[in-house]
Amino acid sequence: MTAKGSARLGTDPMAQRRRLRQELKRLRTEAGMTQREVAQALDWSPSKVIRIENGSVAVATTDLRALLMLFEMKDKRHEQELVEMARASKKQPWAQFRDVYSHEAIQYFAYEASASIIREYSNSWVPGLLQTEEYATALLSGVWSPEEKVVSRKVEFRMERQEELLDREQPPEMFFIMDEAVLRQGVGGPRTMRRQLERLAELAKRPEITIQILPFGSGAHFGMRGPFIYLEFPSEGDDDVLFLENQLGDQVSRDDTEITTQFLQAFWDMEEKASPTGALGAYLDKALASLSEGNETSETTT
C-alpha cells in the first residue's frame, strides 16, 4: 500500500473544477446554508447546485459571482482567483478525440491528467499507458474496431497520453497488476509481442512505475470481475476516481466511497497475491521464451 503522493500543482480543467467545487462547498458551509436554501435564494433548481458542487458541470462566471455574493465573500483577490479557476475549468482536454472515445472515457482521461497515483489492474491486455504503438494498433484492431481510421485516431491519442503522463517532470506514481496470461496472449504476433515485453522491462526500471504479475496459480480473486483503474489526487479532500471499461460501455465513479473503497482494498489484496516487483524479469523471460521463432513473419491482429 502506498500513501497519497506528494502534492503536484495541476492546471488541467478537471483539477481546476475539483478545486473550485471544494471551495464553493466550503464557503456554503461557512455561510450556514444548505444546497436547497442556495437554490431557493438564487431561483435555481436544486439539481443545478448539486451538479456545481459535485463537479459534473463547469460553473459559469456569472453564476459563480452570484454564489459568492450570496455567501457574502469580501476578499476580492480570492474572488478573482475563483473566477479564473472557473474559466480554466471550462476548457475541454482531449476534446479533439471525442469522435472515437465516449464522454465517460474523455472525462476519465481528464481526471487521469491530474492524478498523483494511478493503480490499474488488467486481466486481458497490457495497460494503455504501457503499450507500444504496434501492440496498441493490433489490440484495437482485433478487439474494438476494424476501421483503420478509428484505430489510427485511438493509437494517436494513446501515444499522446503516454507522453503527457510518462514524460512530464513530475509523473504520477503508477502501480500496475497484470494477469500472467496478458504476457502470453500474443497480441499482434511474436515480433510485436517481443517488443511489447521489452518495453515493459524498460518501463519497470523507472522509479515511479511498479509492475506486478498475478501468476496462473493465484486462484480466485476480485480482479476476475474485470479490469479497473483507480486514481488518487494530491489534495486529501479530493475524491478518488474509479474507471471501469467493459462491453456495455465506460463508467466513472467518484462520489460513492462505498464502491471506490471496495476497489482500492481489492487492489491492495491483489498486490499481496502478485509477484514481488523484482520478479517481473523472470516472468518476462518466460514469456519471451514461449514466443515461436518460426512465426516471426506471420503477424496477426488478434
Model pLDDT for residues 4-44, shown as the tens digit of each residue: 333 333 456 666 777 788 888 889 999 999 999 999 999 88
Q: Report the candidate in 56, 287, 58, 302 with the shortest Cα–Cα distance to residue 179.
A: 287
**What's the whole-number mean pLDDT along residues 209-234?**
93
Strands ordered across the beta sheet of 117-122: 209-214, 173-179, 117-122, 228-232, 241-246, 249-253
What's the predicted TM-score (pTM) here?
Answer: 0.71
Q: How many CB atoms lie within 10 A of CB 45?
A: 10
Task: Name the more confident of 169 and 178.
Answer: 178
Angle formed by the axes of helices 103-113 and 13-30, to 10°? 80
Is 185 within 8 Å of 124 (Cβ atoms)? yes
Is 287 within 8 Å of 187 (Cβ atoms)? no
Domains and CATH numbers, the chain: 13-89 (1.10.260.40), 95-295 (3.30.870)
Model pLDDT for residues 100-155, shown as the tens digit of each residue: 888 888 888 888 888 999 999 999 999 999 999 999 999 999 887 778 888 998 89
Q: Which pLDDT score is estimated for 95?
A: 67
